[in-house]
Amino acid sequence: MNYYSTNKKTSAVSLQEAVVKGLAADKGLFMPATVETLPQEFYDSIDTLSFQETAFRVAEAFFGEDVPADVLRQIVCDTLNFDVPLVRVTEDVYSLELFHGPTLAFKDVGARFMARLLGYFIRKERHGQVDVLVATSGDTGSAVANGFLGVEGIRVHVLYPQGKVSEIQEKQFTTLGRNITAIEVDGTFDDCQALVKAAFMDEELNRHLSLTSANSINVARFLPQAFYYFYAYAQLKRIGKAQNVVVCVPSGNFGNITAGLFAKKMGLPVKRFIAANNRNDIFYRYLQTGTYTPRPSIATIANAMDVGDPSNFARIIDLYGNSHAAITADISGATYTDEQIRETVAQTWRTSGYLLDPHGACGYRALSESLQPGETGIFLETAHPAKFLETVEGIVGERVEVPAKLQAFMKGEKRSLPMHKDFASFKRYLLSL
């Protein structure tokens, strides 16, 4: 399948080129030329399929023309070696727990898939060294770094905003070493993302290095996130609750909800989506006004959503033909302050015994406030609460158990490279590799 740019000022490319390049030459994001509607028999029998088998059927629709079936199946099975359970919180509200992977965050799915797909292409073409650039506001860095750790022929450079990620998140990508370098930028996530995009557009850098991105701007990172929307529906179907399904997604850079929208385009029976924001409410304002006005991000306790110019907005616009009416027909929005997030974590813990992380709290609250009679709601619990230990313990007033996986990361020694947010500094670093 070919992949075209959202800016439509350059020729379409193969899957391999889209994955290796990350960003199109005209600065647009790659989109699949077609979005295949999966057959009804798939949906009729989806509740009998395993997570891996469900994901393989979805993966075939995007990658099957370019990757042999046995290779693709192996990539899917290697990626999804953990569960994504649907957990009941209230009568009609369920949490899709996406934190059972190696770094306890939803990005394990996309990052692990991309690492394996990129590794396949590198081996296939006997490609030289590839440098992966990734900006993170929290969980992307850890998922990508651990997904690519030790992969031959790939160096990973994780850019993150100094002092704006949790200690546990930071330890997950600054303690690894080997082929992973953590770059601590004196700025915001948006500054980090701007540095990555500028590097892709710099002719001199691209003559010297083979650069790609592992942010959700890369098709191999964001498309696999569609897998768990199908699996969530399958789990609802098993318990007879798969009618009038509403899905609420805590949203920052909008790769996660975009993957869900692709799932809907493929025929997944989702009635509507809700995009839950923290105070960085750029998309919420777009839904209300029809005008997209990016602005500098604001630091919040739901830090992975602290994005002032979501990259994947371009994909949503493209997917819906630039129609505000079509977008608002499928997606509504909500926005919450830190105080409201704390209130939601505390109240949910008291009333149901379910512990939310700050991002999941936005999703749970938005869903609870808008769910209509006869609807079944799913919100995405995108990271384990212990990744925000100080914040969550301060809210609930109790000690939160830290999983063994996180404890192991915390024992490591932080190693990072300080970096100014100006592009000249970043470019000098890359040219020195």
Alpha-carbon span 414 to 171, nearest angstrom: 6
Alpha-carbon span 3 to 29, nearest angstrom: 9
SS3 state at 417: strand
Contact 116, 80 (CB under 8 A): no
Alpha-carbon span 57 to 49, nearest angstrom: 10
Alpha-carbon torsion 85, 367, 385, 138, what sign?
Answer: positive
Indicate if 107 belongs to the active site.
yes
Give Cβ neighbours of residue 141 (< 8 Å, ≥ 6 apart).
Answer: 134, 158, 160, 165, 169, 172, 173, 182
Strands 376-381 and 245-250: parallel
Tokens of 57: 């059927």
Alpha-carbon span 245 to 148, nearest angstrom: 35
Alpha-carbon torsion 6, 187, 279, 414, what sign?
Answer: positive
Query: Which of 266, 238, 253, 224 lies closest to 85 in space, CA to CA?
Result: 238
400 phi and psi, to 5 degrees?
Answer: -100, 130
Contact 152, 115 (CB under 8 A): no
Radius of gyration of the chain (CA): 20
Q: Which of 107, 197, 241, 421 is catalytic?
A: 107
Strands 417-419 and 180-185: parallel
Cβ count near 427 (within 10 Å): 16
Strands 270-277 and 245-250: parallel
Query: Which of 290, 226, 298 lies closest to 255 in space, CA to CA?
Result: 226
SS3 state at 213: strand
Contact 284, 257 (CB under 8 A): no
Q: How far is CA 321 from the centre of its chain?
A: 23
Q: How open is the CA angle 309-218-361, to the nearest 5 degrees?
A: 55
Active site positions, annotated = 107
